[in-house]
């Protein structure tokens, strides 16, 4: 197998050219409409966006249809101003007994109480997140750990499994994909998919420090593209893929994330090489599983 693009030397132009061309051909509004982020788009107030966004992102596991169904059900209960609703204990209790896979009973009311606590303390979830950023790190991984810790503390003692599941902690070995996804929505500039919410709140955020939300599709395609050779779907792998993409787009490494992810979700990119599907693949020219082009610069 060819080497990673992370090594010094070879031109990155073929990869950048291919991925940029791929992005140009992507129907982003259509992708956005089919993505859980579409549930957050109806909210115009940044406070509502950050609350609705965190709720949707944390429920974003399992089948997409189920995610959308249950997240929409929870949002509907909270009404048109979720940031106000979660500050009201009675309104939070209307979600007592909400069930989605691991969540049940008091999980959602307690989770929302934690969000309300952080917003009351810091003014916004964005400010709470940045308060835990120790600085000095090229990415937001340390701030993510601090944010998960703050949420966990605010949720109180004796957390149920379902409640702990809503608070991803990359320190425990995972990639904190749902938190990375939420941060992408909040921190990348508004582009019809991501929302730029925290900039709208006047917070100083840096898209260059985001970590890619690592799901099975990004992991697999990242390996195909030579962005990583790591087998474990953990935070280190997400960071390695992000660093590789940052060599293509230093100020906005996650610009390719949604399109690459949907290449996998849609089934267009199979788990094993499929000559028919690979033949029509828009990024085949730089895929280590597809046919390599003669000018592929990342060979051994
Ligand atoms: S060439 Fe085939 S394996 Fe490679 S990204 Fe495209 S569909 Fe996936």
Indicate if ligand 1 lies below 6 Å from the C-beta of 225: no
Rounded to the nearest angstrom, the distance between the alpha carbon of 64 and the centre of ligand 1 is: 22
CA atoms of 71 and 281, how far apart (whole Å)? 32
Indicate if ligand 1 lies below 6 Å from the C-beta of 290: yes
Q: In this predicted structure, which of 28-32, 43-47, 189-193, 206-210 has the lowest mean pLDDT?
A: 28-32
Rounded to the nearest angstrom, the distance between the alpha carbon of 292 and the centre of ligand 1 is: 11
Last residue of a domain, one of 177, 195, 211: 211
Same domain, 49 and 182: yes
**Residue-range definition of the domain harbouring residue 273:** 1-33+212-300
Same domain, 120 and 134: yes
Same domain, 83 and 126: yes
pTM above 0.85, yes or no: yes
What is the domain count for the chain?
A: 2
Same domain, 239 and 142: no
CA atoms of 288 and 185, how far apart (whole Å)? 30
* pLDDT tens digit sequence for 60-108: 998 889 999 999 999 999 999 999 999 999 999 999 999 999 999 999 9
9 pLDDT exceeds 70?
A: no
Which CATH number belongs to the domain containing residue 17 in this structure?
A: 1.10.1670.10
Last residue of a domain, one of 211, 236, 251: 211
238 or 135, greater pLDDT: 238
- The pLDDT mean for the chain works out to 91
Indicate if ligand 1 lies below 6 Å from the C-beta of 281: yes
CA atoms of 112 and 156, how far apart (whole Å)? 12
277 pLDDT exceeds 80?
A: yes
Opening angle at CA 252, ends 299 and 3, nearest 5: 10
Rounded to the nearest angstrom, the distance between the alpha carbon of 215 and the centre of ligand 1 is: 17
Indicate if ligand 1 lies below 6 Å from the C-beta of 283: yes
């Amino acid at each position: 197998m060819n080497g990673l693009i992370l090594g010094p030397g070879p031109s990155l132009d073929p990869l950048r050219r291919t991925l940029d061309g791929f992005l140009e051909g992507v129907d982003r509004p259509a992708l956005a409409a089919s993505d859980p982020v579409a549930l957050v788009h109806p909210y115009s107030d940044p406070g509502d966006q950050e609350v609705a966004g965190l709720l949707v992102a944390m429920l974003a596991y399992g089948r997409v249809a189920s995610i959308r169904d249950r997240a929409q059900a929870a949002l509907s209960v909270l009404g048109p101003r979720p940031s106000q609703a979660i500050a009201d204990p009675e309104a939070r209790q209307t979600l007592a007994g909400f069930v989605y896979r691991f969540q049940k009973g008091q999980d959602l009311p307690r989770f929302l109480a934690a969000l309300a606590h952080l917003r009351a303390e810091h003014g916004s979830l964005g400010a709470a997140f940045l308060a835990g950023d120790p600085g000095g790190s090229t990415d937001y991984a340390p701030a993510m750990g601090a944010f998960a810790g703050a949420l966990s503390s605010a949720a109180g003692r004796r957390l149920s499994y379902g409640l702990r599941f809503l608070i991803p902690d990359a320190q425990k070995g995972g990639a904190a994909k749902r938190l990375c996804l939420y941060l992408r929505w909040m921190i990348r500039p508004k582009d019809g998919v991501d929302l730029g919410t925290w900039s709208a709140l006047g917070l100083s955020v840096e898209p260059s420090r985001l970590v890619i939300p690592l799901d099975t599709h990004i992991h697999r395609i990242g390996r195909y593209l030579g962005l990583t050779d790591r087998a474990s779907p953990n935070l280190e792998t997400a960071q390695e893929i992000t660093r590789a993409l940052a060599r293509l787009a230093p100020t906005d490494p996650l610009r390719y994330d949604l399109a690459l992810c949907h290449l996998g979700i849609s089934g267009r990119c199979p788990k094993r090489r499929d000559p028919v599907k690979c033949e029509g693949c828009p990024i085949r020219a730089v895929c280590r599983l597809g046919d390599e082009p003669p000018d592929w610069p990342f060979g051994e």
